Structure 1
């Protein structure tokens, strides 16, 4: 059985690699490598947003939220997962007009605020995407251990090498080409795996009820997830690349709504399975993993398509992250930029520490939450760069206020600044609303006040 599983997973990764390499432009310029500028239709962008946003996380987090928080928390997760696409779809046309030759969130920040803010924004973006990469590869290792006897390191390294091969050689076009097929494949596999697992779900007892968490607590979880997931994903360079890859503004808007709508549906369905598992009294495991607890009640053969689903989810997000980080480094290397060869080596080099971390099997949830909070502290000042009054001073003041606002709720509650700082680092690895809400409100208020008091004298041009 391990040999069959290894062969099937290898065949899936080989197919992704071939699809990616076929889409590459061997003699294309560096700009095409990182942006595929003005080339993609709305359906392609919609499927790409879906595939690149989906990852192995959907098999863990939404089912757990559904099982323990219920429909309100699940709605927050679904909306938060899709909202970044919608925001970029709405702001994207203005960003494209302001930066018609733009390539990255860093270049947008420099055009609005200068080189200092650019470095800050780029650092947060790389930190977030590095955590995302490590989390996805760690997750596929954990899923491999749950569902098969295949060596974990073999699958982790296999996914990293296969995606690295076609993204390093093919750039963004390779990622977009594989996204189309991966999106359809993951929807089909989710239908099969989820349908069979649901069919084997024990009959709901007469006393079955939704999770008993108070409505106020469920709403708090929902708001936390909306803020955290939306703010963090707005620093995902892979999504920003698609702003310039869109054929035109209309394609970008329609693609964003298409990807966002399907994402909401997928997260809601997968999370709903976790909720049904809890209501049916299925043993969710320790730590609880409702989706995989459902598979324990399903036929043994379902483990193979479930593992292929997991590999597809991870590959579709990892290739976007690889290309996104490389493009951010390329775009941030000065006006002369890097050569295409150097850009490819950057893509290879960035994966070495990520794979090393993933093979340790560590939990990266706390790092994820800290990165999310950093993003929440500066996301509004960064997006306000499109406002004519917004200045670098206002953006910097708003960002610093956001960091202070993240610590303030815990400080006020405990009376200790140190305890407030500890609370903002999520010591239990559990997302809580006060740091996120404090960061968002403080950064927004201070940025707006400073921009109104000391507006930008002369707007920079791209």
Structure 2
């Protein structure tokens, strides 16, 4: 079975590489490499938003939330996963008109506030996406160990190298081309694996009930997830690239709504499997992994498609992240005389530390939460950039206030600033609402107040 599994996964990765390399524009410019400007239809963008946003995380987090917190928190997670696409769909046309030759969230920040804010936004965005990359590659290693005898490092390196080949050569066009096929593949595999998993569920006991916690707690978890996921994903450069890749404003809006709608359906569907697993009384494992618990002792004809599904999910998000990070780093390279070849080597170089971290098998959930919180602290000041009263001072002060607001709830409740800092670093990797609300409220309040009292630009 080892050789069969390795052959199937290798074939899938080779197909992705072929599709990506076939889509590259050999004579394209650096601008086309990082934006594929004004070239993509609504359907391509919708499938790309779905594929690039869906990673291996959907096989872990939504089923666990569904199994232990219930449908209300799961709905919050689904909404939070889709909301960044909707925000960019609504806000994107204004960004395109204000910055028609733009390439990144960092350039948008510079156009609004100057170089200082651009560097800050770039740092936060690259840090978040690096955490995302490490998490995805770590996850595929863990899934490989659960479902097969293939050595996890082999799959981690295989996915990283394959996606690197076609993204380094083809840029954003290669990522968009593979996203389209990967989206249809993951929908088909998810439907097939989910259907068979439902068929293998234990008989539902008469006293079965939906998992639930007190409504106030469920709402708190749901709101935390909406804020964390939305704020962080608005710093996902891969999504911002698609703002300028859209053929026109209508294509961007329709693509965003299509991708957001499909994302909600996918997250609710996979999370529903977790709820059904908990209701059936099936052993969920320790640590609990409801989706994979349903695959325990499953035959090879079921575990193999599930593993291909996981590889597809990881590849579709990793290639977007690779190209997104590279585009941030080389966004102004043409002005400095840097070539397209250099941009490709930047893509390769950025992956080396990420793969090294992924091979350690560490838990990156806490890092993810910290990165989410950093994004939440500055997302409002950045998005207020098109408001004519906003100034660089108001934006920077709002971001600093957001960081202080994140530690304020723990500081006030425990009476110590050190305790507040520790609480904002999410000990135990447990998401809590206080730091996120504090970050959003403080950054918004200070930004708006300073913008109102300082000189209009």
Q: Do Structure 1 and Structure 2 share a fold, with TM-score over 0.5?
A: yes
- Residues 125-147 of structure 1: CA deviation (Å, up to 9, x unaligned): 00000000000000000000000
- Residues 219-257 of structure 1: CA deviation (Å, up to 9, x unaligned): 000000000000000000000000000000000000000
Query: Mapping of 1:212-291 within 5 angstroms?
Result: 212-291=212-291
Aligned in 2, Cα 1:337/1:249: closer, same or farther, shift over 3 Å?
farther
Report what 1:95 is aligned to: 95
- Residues 287-324 of structure 1: CA deviation (Å, up to 9, x unaligned): 00000011126444200000000000000000000000
Query: Mapping of 1:79-228 within 5 angstroms?
Result: 79-228=79-228
Local SS of the residue matching 2:362? coil
CA distance in 2, matches of 1:95, 1:162: 33
- My pick for the range that moved more, 202-211 or 42-51, is 202-211
Contact 2:38 2:245 in 1 (8 A): yes
Report what 1:26 is aligned to: 26
Report what 2:436 is aligned to: 436
- Residues 11-43 of structure 1: CA deviation (Å, up to 9, x unaligned): 000000000000001111110000000000000
CA distance in 2, matches of 1:87, 1:370: 22
Report what 1:460 is aligned to: none
Residue 209 (structure 1) shift: 1.3
Unaligned runs of 5+ in 2: none
CA RMSD of aligned residues (A): 0.9
Report what 1:5 is aligned to: 5
Residue 337 (structure 1) shift: 5.5
CA distance in 2, matches of 1:338, 1:33: 13
Report what 1:323 is aligned to: 323
Local SS of the residue matching 1:229? helix
Residue 213 (structure 1) shift: 1.1
Report what 1:341 is aligned to: 341
Residue 212 (structure 1) shift: 3.6
CA distance in 1, matches of 2:131, 2:301: 33
Aligned in 2, Cα 1:84/1:397: closer, same or farther, shift over 3 Å?
same
Residue 85 (structure 1) shift: 0.3
Residue 202 (structure 1) shift: 1.3
Report what 2:294 is aligned to: 294
- My pick for the range that moved more, 97-106 or 211-220, is 211-220
Contact 2:378 2:443 in 1 (8 A): yes
CA distance in 1, matches of 2:345, 2:69: 44
CA distance in 2, matches of 1:101, 1:337: 18
Report what 1:369 is aligned to: 369
CA distance in 2, matches of 1:336, 1:295: 53
Unaligned runs of 5+ in 1: 458-462
Q: Does 1:449 align with 2:449?
A: yes
CA distance in 1, matches of 2:70, 2:342: 48
Report what 1:313 is aligned to: 313
Contact 1:196 1:298 in 2 (8 A): no
Number of residue-to-residue matches in the alignment:
457
Report what 1:40 is aligned to: 40
Contact 1:410 1:423 in 2 (8 A): yes
- The alignment's TM-score, normalised by the length of structure 2, stands at 0.99
Residue 424 (structure 1) shift: 0.2
